[in-house]
Amino acid sequence: MKAALVERPGVLTVRDVPAPEVDDYGVRCELLYGATCTGTDQHILHGRMPWPINYPVILGHESIGRAVELGPRVRYFRLGDLITRVGAPPDPDGAYDVAWGGFAEFGLARDHRAMREDGLPAQAWHGHRVNQVLPAGFDPAAATMVITWRETFSYITRMGVGRGAAVLVIGSGGNGLSFIANASNIGAGAVAMIGSPGRLATGRAAGASACFDYHARDEELVAAIAGSFPEGFDFIIDAVGKAGQTDRVLPLLKPGGVIGIYGIDDFDANAIHPRRAKGTFTYYNGGYDEEEAHERVVALVADGKLDVSTWLDAASAFALEDIEAAFQALRERRMVKALIRLTCSGT
């Protein structure tokens, strides 16, 4: 089968690798579509991940697969199911690794519920809880966004964002826009975005009540935001993680507020100077759990409250063989996320 591998930092190729074989709890899936993650995928592609990556490595963690073969102990998946976060496994002989392995023609999901019931240790099944079934009729191209929506929805609800909260989001990429949409859907009272000038209208479409250009000087930016939101914010979420970006808006956080750095751009270099804040605050470090947010996100999609068109064009996909062109489009900021068609059928 074909798969997209980063051979070494800066070198992305599409080449043949062995198709995965089904084991007892495995679900072999034809991978239909995958979406690019501007953060993680780009960091892996350019050798900037804050933890070790074993190259060569198959990219992709936002892929949707259709079940075509079930292992003998599989009980909670059926042939034809659309399944989230499916990826190819690493090569057993170490010829290549996977950074979740979603950009390939075939991949494996695992029946984590059956594995748990049968007494397998948690380390064997816990990471596969991301393999969730989507309702019948769900558009597999649009479904690629479910992964980002689940991550960000879980993050902000764990953080404590609720109805009436004032939320400031730093970032106008796929994650930043998802935080905005989810905060709006939860019922936040005010949602503001700091982002690229070309994405301010997109931020408003996602649900932001006000958007600000991150290029502004620190004092000008803080003054402009404070003029629109004089009471400040209960929550500040940094979806990018560039050093200094969170720190410069810390004066906008209300006493008792919560701040979280979700992005990984400067993972080891980020710092917060607490005395810039108006009072005591909490740094959120509780992560997210995709499984816990799955049903809620699916319901929001069904209710029309999450519209994929804000993030990507579900009717226009790059072929797997053209994945480098997709990343070039991202580098040129021609789109928020690129959609990759992983098989010829793609339906």
Cα separation, 52 vs 49, whole angstroms? 7
What is the CATH number assigned to the segment(s) 2-141+314-341?
Answer: 3.90.180.10
342 pLDDT more than 70: yes
pLDDT at 347: 52
Domain boundaries, the chain: 2-141+314-341, 148-283
245-258, pLDDT tens digit by residue?
Answer: 999 999 999 999 99
Reported as a pLDDT band with limits 50, 70 and 90, residue 25 is: very high
Model confidence band, residue 40 (pLDDT cutoffs 50, 70, 90) = very high
Q: How confident is the model at residue 345 (pLDDT cuts 50, 70, 90)?
A: low
Question: What fold, for 148-283?
Answer: Rossmann fold (3.40.50)
Instruction: Say how far apart CA 228 and CA 296 lie, in whole Å.
Output: 31
Give the H/E segment covering residue 108.
Answer: strand 106-110
Summary mean pLDDT of the chain: 96
pLDDT computed for residue 192 by the predictor: 98
